[in-house]
Amino acid sequence: MTQSLAKHTGSHSRKEAKDIHRVEINYRGIFQKRLGYNISHDIVYAAHSEGKTAFSNGRYSDDPQRNGIPCANFAFVSKSLGEEELEAIASAKMDVDEADLVLVLDDTLAKGLEPWGHYGIRPINQKVVEGSTILFVSRRKPEELKKLLEKKPFKYNLAVLPGDRSFAGLWYYRDDNSDIRFLGAVARIAPQVLDIETVVNYVRNKYKDEKRVEAAKEAFDSVVINEVTPDDGMVWPYEKPVLPAWQDFDEGIVVKSVKRGFKMGPRGQNRNPDFKRGTSKTQRPVVRFDTCIKCTLCWYDCPDECFDPTPDGLFDINYEYCTGCGRCAQVCPVNDCIVMVDELKFDNTKSPWEQYTKNPEQYVRVMEEKKGLTREVPSPVTGKGEQFIELKSSVPFKAKGVK
């Protein structure tokens, strides 16, 4: 038996039973692994507590042990189906075709995701269907996030739960009520999955702590819901790859690789076009080329080899490949020379060195505006959360650079 190629190349949309609510939970590897699991588990437990059938799983091909890589968990809830039927329909696949509710635990995922090589960068709202909702936890307005999504031919909703992304470690979850707030938000936007009464009872029984119940209620009240129409969003450059039939590729598991190559200047190194990994980042390093002392440490230490040497002895960054790990900012010996800045403040991955050389003063001014004066002090695995310091002023522009 042969199935049509369409089945595994994407265009199919199987008629699923109507009474299945598919929740996709998008999170970042390592930093949000526990949070993602807590949310999918809580949805299942809470639904189960009111007699619904529910189960959860993770997207099996993901690598949640890798820094920042986009990952997904799923929760499936049904009022009428039995366990076996629900599983046969919903769990037969490693990924969902469509989701009735998409949760996004980090708003920078709105710029797209590339969890795996050779499949391209896909939009965060790839799985939404007509009438469904995509929910971000974010400090941004729905209108700002809408612009980043893929244009869809139908109406659906974009909801924002006001708040910060919650980051922690691989094995622990920073107990900041983020998981509970998401449950409250789900009750508001998808009462058919969980209503607020169920959430309140579930949280109360689980924690015996009224403050946590309040967190769920607060989230329920503070969600902002905005309609997304076919006019919103952008035409996404993502093309779903067409996978070949067994007769149509080489035997012996041999694939094309990257040709060795190096030239001085931006984009000078040959890199793998089929797996860029840039969507792993929530922050990007911003370089003050004018104060750079050309010590080479950023270029030398970058685990993803994102720095390209330039003819003037500086180091350009290829943001398409930068995973935002922050290593360069850590090793840079110059005060405030490389600073990590929220990825959503940028709308392109153009060479920063080219922008700098074109107009050094303007580049520095624009970058300092994006940086602001708040600096995050890295506090890995202390469990204390982020610490911030406020600068009085930014480092002044050095017109002639550092000799």
Q: Which residues bind another protein (CB under 8 A)?
A: 1-3, 5, 7-8, 14, 40-41, 44-45, 48, 54-58, 60-61, 83-85, 87-89, 91-94, 243-250, 253, 256
CB of residue 247 vs another protein: minimum separation in angstroms? 5
CB of residue 248 vs another protein: minimum separation in angstroms? 5
CB of residue 238 vs another protein: minimum separation in angstroms? 21
Give ∠ CA 45-48-49 in degrees, rounded to 5: 85
Which residues does residue 341 pair with via DSSP β-bridges, in sequence order? 284
Q: Is the Cβ of residue 14 or residue 263 nearer to another protein in the bound state?
A: 14
CB of residue 2 vs another protein: minimum separation in angstroms? 4
Q: Is the Cβ of residue 59 or residue 122 nearer to another protein in the bound state?
A: 59
Q: How far is CA 242 from the centre of its chain?
A: 25
Q: Which of helix, strand or coil describes residue 399?
A: coil
Q: Is the Cβ of residue 2 or residue 348 nearer to another protein in the bound state?
A: 2
Q: Is the Cβ of residue 57 or residue 357 nearer to another protein in the bound state?
A: 57
Q: Do the beta carbons of residue 269 and residue 261 sit within 8 Å?
A: yes
For 50, 134, 194, 205, 276, the CA distances from 210, given in Å and listed in that order, are 20, 28, 19, 10, 45
CB of residue 331 vs another protein: minimum separation in angstroms? 30
CB of residue 1 vs another protein: minimum separation in angstroms? 5
H helix intervals, 92-209: 142-146, 178-189, 196-207
Q: Is the Cβ of residue 35 or residue 292 nearer to another protein in the bound state?
A: 35
Residue 368 and residue 394: Cα distance in Å, rounded? 7
Q: Is the Cβ of residue 54 or residue 137 nearer to another protein in the bound state?
A: 54
CB of residue 54 vs another protein: minimum separation in angstroms? 8
Specify burial of residue 79 (Cβ count, 10 A radius: 0-12, 13-18, 19+).
middle
Specify burial of residue 227 (Cβ count, 10 A radius: 0-12, 13-18, 19+).
exposed
Residue 275 and residue 292: Cα distance in Å, rounded? 30
Q: Is the Cβ of residue 81 or residue 298 nearer to another protein in the bound state?
A: 81
Nearest one of 21, 77, 26 to 53, comparing CA atoms: 77
